[in-house]
Amino acid sequence: MSLTSSIYRGHVAHARHRPRPHRLRYRVFSLLLDLDELPELDKNSRLFGHNRAAVFSFRDQDHGDGDIGGLRRWVCRQLEAAGQPTDGLRIRVLCYPRIFGYVFNPLTVYFCYRQGDSLCAVLYEVCNTFHERHTYVIPIAGPSGASIRQHCDKALYVSPFTPMTGRYDFRVEPPQERVFVGINQSDDDGPLLAASFAGRHLAFSDGALMKLLFAYPLMTLKVMGAIHVEAFRLWLKGIPVHPHSAADVPRAATMVVEPDADHPPVAKVAAG
């Protein structure tokens, strides 16, 4: 059986535009996991585990509503709340894996396909260091091309150096030989921050995972370490600090329905 689950190796980059310019770029890799293939990956891989201890692992509790074994049902509920059919749905999740049991995923992206591999929706699951997460559920209004552009209002406190008010503009190249996920955050004064992940495809195998283990040692710990290092650098630059605004619900979702000619955009927030 040919797997659609795979690996994407590349770079995360951030560029802050104001009030002080600030840039970062780190080497990382992400897994693209087809939820229907997780039992097979768990059974056949010596290095990867699903909902169990392994060198690399994916745990349902890190995503969605945290229900073990219920991640697919959770995604389907979000799409149904956004008015989307879910019969025959294939769900592929782009995220960091747990490495030796640890992970922090600032952003997890769910690519949702109907039969025939037609991309019908993208879910952007944003997590902060306060154990809160918010998912932006955005159906694709028309045929998806090589690049998808979507947008929504910011609904979760993410960083002490960005205000709660603002807007996200997403540009996504769905995973094939490469993948690209770009987010531009803006506020009333214009563009504020650009963040992106760009990666190249690798076939999923124990051999590839072993090479990544040595090429990116303890990567997920380094992700959390880099967050704090960059925060310290921003503080030294005198970037204003915005106190944490606690989420009304620690796990919630916003359903964004793209506008048509006769209706404005609709955004509905619900518990995740």
- pLDDT, one tens digit per residue, over 168-211 is 999 999 999 999 999 999 998 899 999 999 999 999 999 999 99
Domain count, the chain: 1
Bin 37: left if φ > 0, else alpha if -120 < ψ < 50, else beta: alpha
Residue 238 within any structural domain of the chain = yes
Residue 197 within any structural domain of the chain = yes
pLDDT at res. 117: 84
In what side-by-side order are the strands of the sheet with 178-187?
A: 148-153, 167-173, 178-187, 190-203, 6-16, 22-34, 90-95, 107-114, 118-127, 133-139, 251-257, 266-271
- pLDDT, one tens digit per residue, over 35-82 is 999 999 999 999 999 999 999 999 999 999 999 999 999 999 999 999
Residue 1 within any structural domain of the chain = no
The three-state secondary structure class of 124 is: strand
Residue 115 within any structural domain of the chain = yes
pTM, rounded to two decimals: 0.93
Range of the domain at 250: 6-271
- pLDDT, one tens digit per residue, over 89-136 is 999 999 999 999 999 999 999 999 998 789 999 999 999 999 999 999
Residue 101 within any structural domain of the chain = yes
Residue 258 within any structural domain of the chain = yes
Residue 122 within any structural domain of the chain = yes
pLDDT at res. 265: 46
Residue 179 within any structural domain of the chain = yes
| C-alpha separations of 134 from 35, 52, 131 in Å | 20, 25, 10
Q: Among all chains, which residue has been given the structure tokens 């124990």?
A: 206
- pLDDT, one tens digit per residue, over 244-262 is 989 999 999 999 976 443 4
